Amino acid sequence: MTTGFHYDPIYLTHVAGIGHPERPERLQTAIAHLRAQSWFADLHQIDATFAPAQWLHTIHTRDYVERARSACNTGQAYLDVPDVGICAGSYDAALTACGAALALGDTVMSGATDNAFALMRPPGHHAEASLALGFCLFNNVAVLARYLQQHHGLERILILDWDVHHGNGTQHSFENDASVMYISTHQYPFYPGTGAHSETGEGKGRGATVNCPMQAGATDTDYIDAFTSRILPAIENFRPDAVLLSAGFDAHADDPLAEIRLTTDCYAWMTHRMLEVAERHASGRIISLLEGGYDLNALSDCVRTHVAVLSGNDVAPAS
């Protein structure tokens, strides 16, 4: 199995502010941990350039993209809300992160890799069409979904979001669209306040949104139960042409921003299940994009485990 991997030092130029949890050290620690693995050299390294405006505009308004550029270039401290801290390097980092999502899509669709993971920041799943939220500037996974449909001709796209915070921006991007299934596991009630069980999509998209809200203190068993009873059956009915992962690792028990108690082994288990889904329905196509994860050691361990499973280098049992 060939796994694509993307990382770029440009992501370290995005500094959200002193003491901000979404900090460059997240990636510095994770990449050092990955490079220490014996199998890291076997990953297919993928470079990225800025995402073209035409693809950004499939999700974000032109006014918003220009406002983000201007805010970063003129030295504003944050974009739209105080938790989206920015600096002079933030816009280029965000454009590269979104471009990386597209580059991974190209690589997987060409057959050069079976699947791919991007170690990138800033994250994206809270970003709305015209509003920055929750540390996010551009909604990378949403832009990728439209790119796979409009550039590569895929029809049904699955987005599974296991970040501990609900991906409001991603849900809102597709809640009227039955061709993109959005599934989320997240602590609830919690930031950003969306993601109730009753939110199932609207209009033609009704039924294509599946929210699995979790209470504080939820464990591996609760997540496995949700996968077994709701998530995997919904995916089987949908039969996706590609599997996209909003891979946040902040539901880990050691993460400081939430109260879900997952172990690293649970992330391995969920990754195995998605590999199985992708093999059955999507010719193995999985593209995974980093979202949250704020304990440096837990994030590094989860990223290592996730990429090891994707690339067939894991040594833990699959079930």
What are the boundaries of each domain within the chain?
4-310
- DSSP assignment of 152-191 equals T----EEEEE-SSS--HHHHHHHTT-TTEEEEEEEESS-T
| List of the chain residues with pLDDT < 70 | 315-319
The two structure tokens encoding residue 17: 């502010």
Q: What pLDDT is recorded for position 319?
A: 54
Which class in CATH covers the domain with range 4-310? alpha beta
Beta strands in the chain (DSSP E): 3-6, 44-45, 115-118, 157-161, 180-187, 209-214, 242-247, 286-290
* Active-site residue list: 126
pLDDT at 315: 64
Token representation of residue 319: 């079930």
**Burial (Cβ within 10 Å: 0-12, 13-18, ≥19) of residue 161:** buried
* CA 243 to centroid of chain Cα atoms: 11
Q: Three-class SS of residue 82?
A: coil
- The residue among 187, 75, 172, 72 whose CA lies nearest residue 122 is 72
pLDDT of residue 245: 99
- Who contacts 35 (Cβ-Cβ below 8 Å, separation ≥6)? none
pLDDT tens digits, 215-247: 999 999 999 999 999 999 999 999 999 999 999
pTM of the model: 0.98
